[in-house]
Structures are given as structure tokens and as C-alpha cells.
């Protein structure tokens, strides 16, 4: 049944996404390390996933019929941790343990440490192959399932999140070829097309365009959306469910550092948290970076007057 979304639900998700961004800044500031730009840019999409799209149960993370979310670009895991905590997988207070010794919240997610994480993220370019394997195995389970087998029926979807920078990895295209050849229509991939990577702009380092045409040539159904328009994203996810005999890829155009003006579209914030970027002429002094980021998020960039104004 289509998972339609109402105006009221969209407004609720937008507020949750902004709350997620605030928690993200607090979490990264406490950790003193971690990635900022990508997680801020993907807050709307991860909020939509955990609060509307995914078939999942935070109280039973290993539920056999859950949808599988594979995070290939594991460095943006702070936004996954935040939305998982908000959804009830673990206490929000635990977010302050990011990257600390003994924590479940590693700098890249580890499957064995945190229930609800499907794979251990590491080298960029690995996730699409893992996701294609899940989707292929799920289809086998559908074909071989019997009610008394005790195994998954395979009636779930696999979602794979990737960065645009990892489209430079050869393994990504081997996996794209495999998924297209095997017509894995139960697989939906999402590319965070924010145009930055750790060393600069993607089109300067290794041009990716025409990205859409490349995936179409590999037998994928391709959709492009504004990654900050929750309605557009949800509609694309629903369209993907209706596509037969092709995997779908959603190219989500996002703003890295979304919501904080001195972080937006600036690759210096790709792998640095507030309080650490010295050579950004547009940023406040180190000691004020987190405070200013939170001020902008809490007032929606000045659209809401704070209680102190």
C-alpha cells in the first residue's frame, strides 16, 4: 500500500529534522571530532527514513521483516545515530559518547556494537555491493520461503546510502552492474549529491557527470530530487517500489552544512566539527562556532526570534 504523506506529517518531519541538526552539533562538539557537512545535509532524508519510510521496530532491531538500511558512506553516521536515538533505538543521552573509548557510537558504525546497524562501514565504495547482496539473497528467500521455515520471507526492501565522492570508486560500478544485470527491484540506492569531498569539489577532483546517464546505462531507474524537500523524497521512494525489474537510484541534491550559513557548500567542514576549523574566513572564532551554529538552527536562520532577542 502506498505510503502517502500528509502536509501535517511533512511539517512534523521538518521540525524533527531541525531538532536532529541541533543534536548533531551538540554531539560533534562534545566529541571534538567527526564529520559535520554531510550529516547536516542529510538530516531531512534520514528523518524521513526513520520516521516515515522504513519498516522497522526500534524495540526489536533484528526483526526479520525489517527493511535494511546500508550506510556506505559511514562517515556521515552521526546523523544516523541521532535519528536512531530519536526513534528510540537507544537513549538520546548516549549521543554524547560519540567516538569515546568503549562507546557503541564509533566514528564509522559497527554492526556488532549497535543493534539496528546492518553493516560495518569502512572503505568507501563497499556499501552498494553489500546492499546488492542483501537484495539478491532476499529475492532467493522470497522464492524459497515456506511458512514453517523460521526464516525471513524476504519481503523487505534494501536501501543503500552513498556519497557522491564514492562514485569515484570502481567497486561501486561493479556493484551497479551486478544489480542492474540481476534486476534487483527490491533495492533502492540514494546518492547524497552535495558536490563536496574531503579535498574539494567533486567536479574538480574527479568529475562525476553525467551521473544520471551512467546509472541508466547500467539498467537502473533514476530519479532526481531536492534532498531537502521531504515530500519529493518520499514520493521518489514510493515510485521506486512500483518499478519492476530494475533497481532504483535516487540522486538527492543536498546542501552540505545545511542550516548553518558559514558551513554550507564549504568542503572545509566535510570532516571537521565546530570549534576546529581555523582557516575559514566566513566562520566565527573557534570558541563561538558551535554556539553560532546552534543559534542559527534554533532560530531557523533568523526566521524565529530567540527568547534573548
Q: Which residues contact 195 (CB under 8 A, 6 or more apart)?
A: 164, 201, 202, 203, 256, 265
Write out the H or E segment, with its range, that includes residue 241.
Answer: helix 230-242
Asked if pLDDT for residue 191 goes beyond 60, the answer is yes
Number of H helices, E strands in the chain: 10, 7
What is residue 309's predicted lDDT score, i.e. its pLDDT?
45
Contact 277, 289 (CB under 8 A): yes
Give the three-state DSSP class for 140: helix
Q: How far apart are CA 29 and CA 92, in angstroms?
A: 15
Asked if pLDDT for residue 303 goes beyond 60, the answer is no
Rounded mean pLDDT, 162-187: 97
pLDDT tens profile 285-297:
999 999 999 999 9
Give the three-state DSSP class for 109: coil
**pLDDT tier, 306 (very low <50, low <70, confident <90, very high otherwise):** very low
Contact 40, 141 (CB under 8 A): no
pLDDT tens profile 84-141:
999 999 999 999 999 999 999 999 999 999 999 999 997 899 999 999 999 999 999 8
Higher pLDDT, 294 or 155: 294
Q: How far apart are CA 151 and CA 149, in angstroms?
A: 5
**pLDDT tier, 302 (very low <50, low <70, confident <90, very high otherwise):** low
Higher pLDDT, 216 or 279: 216
Higher pLDDT, 289 or 144: 289
What is residue 155's predicted lDDT score, i.e. its pLDDT?
86
Candidates 67, 76, 49, 217; CA nearest to 131 is: 67
For residue 293 the three cell numbers come to 551554529
Asked if pLDDT for residue 308 goes beyond 60, the answer is no
For residue 189 the three cell numbers come to 540506492
pTM of the entire predicted model: 0.93
**pLDDT tier, 279 (very low <50, low <70, confident <90, very high otherwise):** confident
Higher pLDDT, 49 or 301: 49
Q: For the CA atoms of 122, 123, 124, 129, what is the dihedral angle to 10 degrees?
A: -90
Asked if pLDDT for residue 148 goes beyond 60, the answer is no
Give the three-state DSSP class for 192: strand
In degrees rounded to 5, what are phi and psi of residue 187?
Answer: -115, 125
Q: Is 57 exposed, middle or buried (0-12, 13-18, 19+ CB in 10 A)?
A: middle
First to last CA, the chain: 47
Rounded mean pLDDT, 261-269: 94
71, β-bridge pairs: 161
Contact 164, 120 (CB under 8 A): no
Candidates 80, 105, 109; CA nearest to 94 is: 105
Rounded mean pLDDT, 287-309: 76
Asked if pLDDT for residue 231 goes beyond 60, the answer is yes
Largest CA distance in the chain: 64
For residue 182 the three cell numbers come to 540481476
What is residue 4's predicted lDDT score, i.e. its pLDDT?
77
For residue 77 the three cell numbers come to 553516521
Q: Across the chain, what does the average pLDDT equal? A: 93
What is residue 152's predicted lDDT score, i.e. its pLDDT?
58
- Sorted by where each starts, the structural domains of the chain and their CATH numbers stand as 7-298 (3.40.50.970)
Amino acid at each position: 500500500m502506498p505510503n502517502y504523506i500528509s502536509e501535517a506529517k511533512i511539517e512534523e518531519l521538518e521540525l524533527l529534522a531541525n531538532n536532529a541538526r541541533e543534536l548533531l552539533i551538540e554531539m560533534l562538539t562534545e566529541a571534538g571530532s567527526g564529520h559535520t557537512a554531510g550529516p547536516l545535509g542529510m538530516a531531512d532524508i534520514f528523518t524521513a527514513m526513520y520516521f516515515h519510510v522504513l519498516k522497522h521496530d526500534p524495540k526489536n532491531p533484528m526483526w526479520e521483516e525489517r527493511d535494511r538500511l546500508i550506510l556506505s558512506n559511514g562517515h556521515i553516521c552521526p546523523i544516523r545515530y541521532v535519528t536512531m536515538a530519536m526513534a528510540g533505538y537507544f537513549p538520546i543521552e548516549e549521543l554524547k559518547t560519540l567516538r569515546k573509548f568503549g562507546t557503541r557510537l564509533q566514528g564509522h558504525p559497527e554492526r556488532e556494537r549497535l543493534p539496528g546497524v546492518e553493516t560495518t562501514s569502512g572503505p568507501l565504495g563497499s556499501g552498494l555491493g553489500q546492499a546488492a547482496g542483501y537484495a539478491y539473497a532476499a529475492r532467493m528467500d522470497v522464492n524459497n520461503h515456506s511458512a514453517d521455515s523460521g526464516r525471513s520471507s524476504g519481503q523487505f526492501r534494501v536501501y543503500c546510502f552513498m556519497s557522491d565522492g564514492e562514485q569515484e570508486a570502481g567497486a561501486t560500478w561493479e556493484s551497479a552492474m551486478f544489480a542492474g544485470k540481476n534486476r534487483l527491484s527490491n533495492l533502492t540506492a540514494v546518492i547524497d549529491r552535495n558536490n563536496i569531498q574531503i579535498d574539494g569539489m567533486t567536479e574538480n577532483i574527479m568529475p562525476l557527470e553525467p551521473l544520471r546517464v551512467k546509472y541508466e546505462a547500467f539498467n537502473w531507474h533514476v530519479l532526481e530530487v531536492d534532498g531537502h524537500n521531504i515530500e519529493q523524497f518520499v514520493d521518489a521512494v514510493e515510485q521506486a517500489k512500483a518499478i519492476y525489474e530494475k533497481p532504483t537510484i535516487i540522486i538527492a541534491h543536498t546542501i552540505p552544512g545545511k542550516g548553518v550559513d558559514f558551513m554550507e557548500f564549504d568542503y572545509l567542514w566535510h570532516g571537521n566539527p565546530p570549534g576546529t576549523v581555523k582557516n575559514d574566513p566566513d566562520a566565527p572564532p573557534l570558541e563561538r562556532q558551535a554556539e553560532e551554529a546552534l543559534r542559527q538552527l534554533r532560530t531557523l536562520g533568523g526566521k524565529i526570534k530567540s527568547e534573548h532577542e
